[in-house]
């Protein structure tokens, strides 16, 4: 097990990578003109399509011809320029940073990614063959688990939520197989209060949700100030259970923070089964809180 590969760089808490294939004439969805949408993202990053990588900032939607043949597609958010990696042998690396498989897939925080894409990891990364890694910090620390629609209490946080559905206990398939969760939706802002943060730190929220409807979007606030939009375009009515993440920085001295997750109007209902909230040490660009 490798633990001491430490280099210097920046890992934004909101960094994430999506990799997917769209066989035949499939798309993420069809737009209002019935065109195939194959890339839909919000933020700053890049996407790879037809073997070419293009940068974007803000909201970007890419459509292709009806019978265009597509290869693997990847979207990298918060990655910027490719970091300077170090080659390590097969095994597991603990910590947070960037990784890329050279000839084989890698497993980052429990999710598999193909070779050749920049993948952020926040707890650990592993591969069966030599791969490339840049570790920039220690593993993220789990500070709260929020299950807003389950009968058991939330752990590590105080939660207030209005205008919400009743929780429903359901078994849905993910890419790993069937899982049982309490699921629901909320129309108004969910407020989560966390205390005991050392600050400054990064905060990363990982959401488990029902992807029966794609294009789910919510505004995220930190102590009442908006820090960004959490957008997930994917729709999957076979493996409906998906996981996605969003993050932001907290400035020094913010021992208590309130996170607001407010579903955006005009988008499909915001689904939640579980939120797992982690903290990361060492932000380089903190956001001031009031």
Task: Say if residue 34 is in the same domain as residue 131.
Answer: yes
**pLDDT range class, residue 260, cuts 50, 70, 90:** very high
Final residue of a structural domain among 102, 117, 137 = 137
Provide the CATH number for the domain around residue 208.
2.60.120.260
- Boundary (domain end) residue, out of 137, 158, 192: 137
Residue pair 253/212 in contact (Cβ under 8 Å)? The answer is no
Query: Across the chain, which distance is largest between two alpha carbons, in Å?
Result: 55
The verdict on residue 290 lying in a domain is: no
- Residue 57, domain extent: 16-137
Do the domain assignments include residue 194? yes
Minimal CA–CA distance to 280: which of 83, 58, 109, 51?
109
Say what the pTM is.
0.90
> Taking a C-beta distance cutoff of 8 angstroms, is the pair 131, 113 a contact?
no
Tell which of 105, 137, 169 closes a domain: 137
Q: Are residues 265 and 232 in the same domain?
A: yes
Residues 102 and 168 in one domain: no
Would 259 be classed as within a structural domain? Answer: yes
Handedness of CA 247, 78, 106, 236 (dihedral sign): positive
- What contacts 171, CB < 8 A, 6 or more positions away? 178, 179, 180
pLDDT (0 to 100) of residue 4: 43
Q: Are residue 49 and residue 170 in the same domain, yes or no?
A: no
Both 100 and 47 in one domain: the answer is yes
Location of structure tokens 């933020």: 43
Q: Is 261 within a domain?
A: yes
Least confident of 145-149, 195-199, 263-267: 195-199
**Total count of domains within the chain:** 2
Same domain, 180 and 214: yes
Same domain, 112 and 157: no
Clarify whether residues 152 and 90 are in a common domain: no
- As a whole-number percent, the residues of the chain with pLDDT over 90 amount to 76
Instruction: List pLDDT tens digits, range 191-208.
Output: 999 988 866 889 999 999
Chain segment 152-177, per-residue pLDDT in tens: 878 999 999 989 999 999 999 998 89
Q: Do 123 and 167 reside in the same domain of the chain?
A: no
């Amino acid at each position: 097990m490798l633990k001491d590969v430490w280099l210097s760089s920046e890992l934004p808490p909101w960094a994430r990578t999506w990799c997917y294939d769209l066989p035949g004439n499939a798309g993420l969805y069809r737009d209002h003109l019935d065109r195939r949408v194959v890339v839909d993202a919000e933020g700053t990053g890049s996407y790879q399509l037809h073997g070419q990588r293009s940068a974007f900032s803000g909201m970007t939607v890419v459509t292709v011809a009806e019978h265009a043949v597509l290869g693997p597609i990847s979207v990298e958010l918060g990655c910027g320029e490719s970091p300077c990696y170090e080659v390590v042998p097969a095994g597991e690396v603990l910590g947070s940073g960037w990784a890329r498989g050279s000839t084989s897939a890698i497993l980052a925080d429990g999710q598999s990614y193909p070779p050749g894409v920049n993948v952020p990891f926040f707890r650990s990364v592993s591969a069966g063959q030599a791969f490339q890694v840049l570790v920039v910090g220690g593993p993220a620390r789990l500070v709260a688990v929020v299950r807003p629609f389950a009968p058991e209490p939330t752990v590590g946080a105080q939660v207030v939520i209005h205008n919400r559905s009743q929780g429903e206990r359901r078994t849905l398939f993910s890419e790993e197989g069937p899982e049982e969760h309490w699921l629901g939706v909320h129309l108004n802002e969910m407020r989560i209060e966390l205390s005991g943060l050392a600050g400054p730190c990064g905060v990363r929220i990982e959401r488990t949700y029902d992807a029966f409807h794609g294009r789910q979007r919510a505004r995220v606030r930190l102590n009442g100030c908006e820090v960004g939009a959490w957008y997930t375009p994917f729709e999957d009515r076979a493996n409906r259970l998906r996981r996605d993440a969003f993050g932001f920085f907290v400035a020094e001295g913010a021992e208590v923070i309130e996170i607001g997750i407010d579903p955006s109007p005009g988008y499909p209902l915001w689904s939640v089964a579980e939120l797992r909230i982690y903290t990361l040490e060492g932000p380089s660009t903190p956001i001031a809180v009031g």
